[in-house]
Structure 1
């Protein structure tokens, strides 16, 4: 039986001994494909790690802000000092949010790059168009988009609520 020259074999799948060389994945290609898939998985996990860090730090700092607001007089702070401390806490929360958003964006850029590399490798080794290339127009389907929007929304809500409700009540 003569092998079909257009037939390719999956990574790790052994081609028959009589298969032409262009239908077989080299060991390097298999290892590279495994590495790319591992990196894609790793970039997805990192978003969850950074979101957990943001939630922990933002919650802790917000709790410190609430404690300061409710107990600044018992602590012997002036109203001006309490307002300044609350603004400092809100600024810290905003900085943590900015850092988290930056890390998510870097993760998305890395994911996009690895996906392009995966597509190039499968185009070469399997067949042209085996994997669809990632597209920025699909941004609305990525959970990272909504993670960033959630973080931005909480920061905007924090500043609006604090400047209209909390800071004016400190006298």
Structure 2
């Protein structure tokens, strides 16, 4: 996830965090800061920059007492939309009556598949700023998750017949 913000005091700040590994990089006006520790960076003139927060809670950079918000926290509706695949698969896939109507795999296998879809939902929704596109992304990933779980359930049922 890459985010850029213009600050009056420090100029253009570019922050990048890898979603999967958590590796962070910070650059001011195109000049990368030297990494001192996991969350501390040093500017060219010797000022210390501390990164606080995460992908989910939002990221702020602290230059002494100065605070620069680089990445806003995830909103409640983004979390709710991202959890749709997991909730659907866990409710539908673990109900025998519902699986007789439309079979989807539940349990650990369905939870694993839908968990990956939740992570993809969060990642894709962070890249988009338009609310309507976030809703479309969430619905698309949820539909893809349901389709994959349906295909897995169909394979399991056909192997048992």
TM-score relative to the length of structure 1:
0.29
Q: TM-score, normalised by structure 2?
A: 0.30
| Higher helix fraction (1 or 2) | 1
Higher relative contact order (CA 8 A, sep 6+): 1
